[in-house]
A and B are shown apart, each in its own frame.
Chain A
Amino acid sequence: MRAPSRLLGAAIGAVLALSLSGCGSSAPEGTGQVKLTLWHNSADPAPLLEMYKKFEKQSGHKIELVSIPSDGFEDTTQTKWATGDRPDILEYHATASGLLALNPAANLRDLTGEAYIARSGDLYQAAGSVNGKVYAAITGFPQVFGLYYNKKVFTAAGLTPPTNFAELAAACPKLKAAGVTPVFESGGSIWPVQILPILYLAGANQSNAYGKAIAGHSSTLADAGSPFVSGLTAYAKLKADGCFNKDIVTAKFEDSMKALVTGKAAMVAQHSDMLPALLAAAGGDQKTVDESVGFVGLSSDKPLVTYAPGPIGTFYLPKTGDAAREKASLDFVRFMTGPAYAEYITASKTFPVLKDVPDPQGVPAVLQDVKKAYDTGAVIAFNSDIPGMGGLAQLMSELIAGQKDPQKAATQLQGQVEQAAKAAGLPGW
């Protein structure tokens, strides 16, 4: 009896030892190669996925991709994050509001001093950093928000695309008379309906003045006659004037792309990362997109585009306590922002955020329009640095349904900002 027991004990011991060694992600000792977990957005384009493979090939490390659906990306990431689960590399929003929700000081590694930061101009003044510490490695060109318009529709109506809200309001009846939906809004997808009010606020947010005032608590969203209330009021007036599609409540953003490409709608407020969706709506025909769709900046009173650093290609390194994996994940950031970055830009046909990297060849005409508008006048989205703004889209749904007026919606959102700002311990709250 004793011998089999001993054998059994040894077997259990061996299994336990093997299991425990398998618990860590480190590869066999001595090789220096490890397995890294990367939580990434399911909307990562093919060239970016290719870069992950190139890193594996070059470094010998393995990357285990954990795909977070782009629909509900923030919720799902937060849910996984809240359990205490940490990847070695996290792809997430670069905005201060997104970053604050990760409690960066406690959970993320400080990347200040890395070489790519000096090559990024003043990018990290506006994104990826909190209290002077840089936590992000941003490799993607910011999402540029503005107005996509159908060139053929505007030519047929004898109009030029609007660049401020007065022109937008004036164009509405003329486009309606031509049998076209002036602006297609997608309330069924919820998030797109917050874009127009955010565009409106670009005029008041030059140098991020308005965003800083709200985040610093020197102004509130609900102040009488505040830019935010004015933006919501302008939006409500457009709706009352019949500028939007009838199915605004149920339409999805894919519907908006299709309506724009086919000329059923004249304009859609969206951002530059939606270009693949636009292409898909055109049946994959880039020529159709180039010939029919243009892009302009729009704000309350002047042609400005609004930008926000997006989650695609923005990486953070959570603290894991495993020295080998932490070294390897830092190698990943250095790889993405190092010599390989130029390859990525060439393959992805997007614009670089690092200096000394040339613009790619063969960029689609619409994206060139986006870049032109961005270079002419770009303002960071006013909500980038304000925590608790996640409720804006839901409030817009209530505004559209006529349940809330602009002032009441602003008051409610200010409550959410206060809740988050206090939780984040922001100065001034």
Chain B
Amino acid sequence: MVMRTRAAWLPWALPAIVLVTVFFLAPFLLNVRFAFSSWTSFRAEITWNGLENVRTLIDQDLLANAVTVTVLYAILCMAIQNTVSLSLALALQRTSGINTVFRSAFFLPTLISPLAAGYIWRGLLAPDGAVNSFLGIEWAWLGEPSTALVVVAFIDAWKWSGLITLVYIAGLNSIPKSLLESATVDGAGPWTRFRRVVFPMLAPALTFNVAVTLVGALSAYDVIAATTGGGPGDHTRALNVVMRQQWGQGFFGSASALGFTVTLLVIATAVPLVWWLRRREVTG
């Protein structure tokens, strides 16, 4: 019986297994050694140097800040995107002409390149840009330490919320109407219906969206590069931004160590998170 079940799913899973192995697992396993090597552009020899790259990054005040910025950015992106997208999904759940127009409009930024999105917003948010003209204020949104990281997280949310909204809409539409009707008959108001019926039933969509937004933001680079380049100072200098800078200076070993750190962060965050959310789907 077990054999038959395995035989049944294997052909369907095989393409995914092959793709993940060839494009993710194998490159990761083949490259992880470089994080512990003396690889630079300055010489041909690559030798094992243990944790020297990590020590160097710590000595140069680069690692701790980059990890802090990355984690903060990921939490912000995840929170903003899921809040905005869930609200939009609730507003646009019903399939109608006008809602289809709005769904398309909110989905459009997903199709734009992240770099292009970053450049567009950098122009809009410049001190003499359209946003300040509209608000009648003078504020360097991307140049002030207090706002830069949050603003970049909002730009990322603007870019991806359309996609996350669609997932929530699909989740909302899969909730049986009879369940909501029963709750209404039992006297539940809109808020209680949402809290007690809708939100728990959205658990699979929530698991997917939280995991995707968090993991995506942990490996952030493009929007940050296009908007702040890591500045002001090092306030938006996420791990991948530092990795690019190290790489550009020829310190390939240190850059690999930073890449490895991103991988560790993703594994350390995503695995327990998905495990907890999946468990919540069952028990909740």
Contact = CB atoms under 8 A, between A and B. Distances in A.
Contacts of A388: 249
A397 B41 contact: no
A78 interface: yes
Contacts of B142: 249-250
A72 interface: yes
A323 interface: no
Contacts of B38: 423
B252 A403 contact: no
Interface stretch (B20-28, B161-169, B195-203, B229-237): B229-237
Given A75-B247, A250-B140, A419-B251, A424 B233 contact: no
B173 interface: no
A66 B125 CA distance: 34
Contacts of A391: 245, 249
Contacts of B59: 415
Contact of B42 (A188, A190, A400, A420): A420
A102 B143 contact: no
Contact of A416 (B60, B143, B229): B60
Chain B interface, DSSP helix/strand/loop, else mixed: loop
Contact of B233 (A82, A106, A397): A397
Contacts of B249: 78, 101, 388, 390-391, 416, 420
A247 B232 CA distance: 11
Interface in B105-160: 122, 126-128, 140, 142-145
Contacts of A415: 56, 59-60
Contact of B61 (A81, A187, A412, A424): A412
Contact of A78 (B126, B144, B247): B247
A255 to B, nearest CB: 9
A405 to B, nearest CB: 12
A390 B247 CA distance: 11
Contacts of A100: 42
A416 B248 CA distance: 13
Given A82-B252, A250-B140, A400 B232 contact: yes
B177 interface: no
B232 A249 contact: yes
A216 to B, nearest CB: 17
A346 B38 CA distance: 47
Contacts of A187: 143, 231-232
A388 B247 CA distance: 12
A416 B140 CA distance: 31
Contact of A401 (B60, B231, B244, B247): B231
Given A397-B230, A401-B231, 17 more contacts: A75-B248, A78-B250, A82-B252, A101-B42, A103-B42, A103-B43, A247-B126, A250-B143, A394-B245, A400-B232, A401-B232, A415-B60, A419-B56, A423-B40, A423-B42, A424-B40, A424-B43
